[in-house]
Amino acid sequence: MSGTRRVQRSFGYRFLEPAALARVKNLSIVARGVVEGFISGLHASPYKGFSVEFADHREYAPGDNPRHLDWRTLARTDRLYIRQYEEETNLRAQILLDGSGSMNYRYDDAPSKFQYGAYLSAILAYLMTRQQDAVGLTVFDSTLRLDMPARSSARHLGEVLRQLEQLAESRDHGANRRGSTTQIAETLHQLADRYTRRRLIILISDLYDEPESVLRAFHHFRHRHHELMVFHVFDKTELEFPFRETMQFEDLETGERLQVDPAYVRGEYRKQLEAFVAFFRKGCADVGAEYVMTDTSVPYDFMLSRHLALRMRL
């Protein structure tokens, strides 16, 4: 219907797959704490009233204030719609996708960690828009490559998906696979200072930075009363280190190359990786952040549906 708010249904977006949407269609992303917003819905809010900038419509739901009904739309369509405003939302969420060089890593036919994160970002943005929450997207390396504020309209979702595709295509067609260096901690501190209104922060990253510094940035978000959800993404080979023959490894951020005999380093590598993962799992638990470890061999929709189903039960 013209003038009504609808999530884009023409699945022409690279990172929004119909089969994946079917798997998560009955799931929701519900904030655990109090969030800032105005709509009656999934999330508790300490605020009442609407802002003044009209953005779109949404269907009337029980509990909505009749004062905000659009009577012209009712007369024209015989259906109840609420006038929705730019700041009217139950939940503000910002997806932070790591775009540093290490996220370009892939082995054989698996997607790169960045591509995996892009698919995950797209489906999360879709889910939150569908449940009438505001979502934004930030892609960063040593600087912000894409920074879209949180809004809740279907039009905004479409723009998020288009911008994400354009950024991914520019990476795909780059002259080489190396990218910018990782400065996760510094970027997260900057963003924590910038977000003055409480929101759900969803970080998708391999977290390849100094662990203590990254964890301090997590504390910064929690100190500012944001909720934090961390998707720690690896390639399967990073976890298993299955290599057998002596080979050359290249740092995708610095270009440094090193000749390595896998048999010689495998034990120590796995020990350090396990400690790295354990550090962030415990650190997130201590700070009250959700931690989800995954690798690119696990279908992102399966991983997400399993996590959200568990989250809803808890």
CATH number of the CATH domain containing 239: 3.40.50.410
Domain presence at residue 154: yes
Nearest in space to 96 (alpha carbons), one of 222, 202, 229 = 202
Rg of the chain in Å (alpha carbons): 21
Three-class SS state of 250:
strand
Domain presence at residue 38: no
Q: Report the C-alpha gap between 55 and 153 in whole angstroms.
A: 8
Domain presence at residue 71: no
Domain presence at residue 235: yes
Domain range for 185: 92-313
Three-class SS state of 295:
strand
The domain tally of the chain equals 1
Question: What angle, 0 to 180 degrees and rounded to 10, lies between the N-to-C axes of helices 262-287 and 211-223?
Answer: 20
Alpha helix stretches (DSSP H) within the chain: 18-24, 71-77, 113-130, 154-172, 184-194, 211-223, 236-240, 262-287, 300-313
Domain presence at residue 43: no
Domain presence at residue 271: yes
Query: What tokens appear for 277 in the block?
Result: 């993962």
Q: What is the pLDDT along the chain (314 residues), one digit of tens a residue?
A: 333 344 444 457 999 999 999 988 888 887 666 444 433 345 544 444 444 444 556 676 666 667 777 777 777 887 877 765 544 456 889 999 999 999 999 988 889 999 999 999 999 999 999 888 899 999 999 889 999 999 988 999 999 999 999 999 988 876 444 556 678 999 999 999 999 888 999 999 999 999 999 999 999 999 999 999 999 999 999 999 999 988 888 887 778 888 988 899 999 999 999 999 999 999 999 999 999 999 999 999 999 999 988 887 76
pLDDT of residue 95: 98
Domain presence at residue 138: yes
Domain presence at residue 204: yes
Contacts of 34 (CB under 8 A, 6+ apart): 44, 45, 46, 198
Burial label for 20, CB within 10 Å (0-12, 13-18, 19+), is buried
CA dihedral 169, 174, 179, 184 (to 10 degrees): -20
Q: Report the C-alpha gap between 216 and 185 in whole angstroms.
A: 8
pLDDT tens string 66-79: 777 777 777 788 78
Q: Report the C-alpha gap between 229 and 237 in whole angstroms.
A: 24
Cα atoms in the Cβ-side hemisphere of radius 13 Å centred on 47: 17
